[in-house]
Amino acid sequence: KGVMVKDARILILGVTFKENCPDIRNTKIVDIYHTLQEYTPNITVFDPWANPEHVKHEYGIDIVTSGIEELHGRFDAVIHAVAHTDFQQLDPRDFLSDPRTGVVYDVKGTLNPAAIDGRL
């Protein structure tokens, strides 16, 4: 879709090890975060299940845990990383600054295929 990773604004939905659980031990989302961080500092991680202090202490990552509505229309790409029940009611394209050119990637394979651009 022509979105360059360099300096892109990226939203990662979820950081916990598995859905609907606050456990952050052994989460692979941190690997995604650090890989993307090589290309852009503009990464926001949203997870209402995770404890922000624990994530900051363990991984050095600041996360957002509330106010998801404030994130609408701000990103070039959205990565649906954890299949929290809370996220199933969201339209990931709402977070894109341009829904026609923005990218939605579904790591967990739980979103409607019509709403995404790629998945594992």
* Number of domains into which the chain is organized: 1
- Rounded to two decimals, what is the model's pTM? 0.95
Q: 59 and 87 in contact (C-beta within 8 Å)?
A: no
- Encode pLDDT of 41-87 as tens digits: 999 999 999 999 999 999 999 999 999 999 999 999 999 999 999 99
The range of the structural domain enclosing residue 29 comes to 10-109
34 falls within a domain:
yes
Inside any domain, residue 44: yes
In a domain, 118, yes or no: no
Whether 1 maps to a domain, the answer reads: no
Place 3 in a pLDDT band, splitting at 50, 70 and 90.
confident
| CATH code where residue 97 lies | 3.40.50.720
Task: Specify if 40 maps to a domain.
Answer: yes
SS3 of 17-37: the string is: CCCCCCCCCCCCHHHHHHHHH
In a domain? residue 91: yes
Q: Does 117 fall in a domain?
A: no
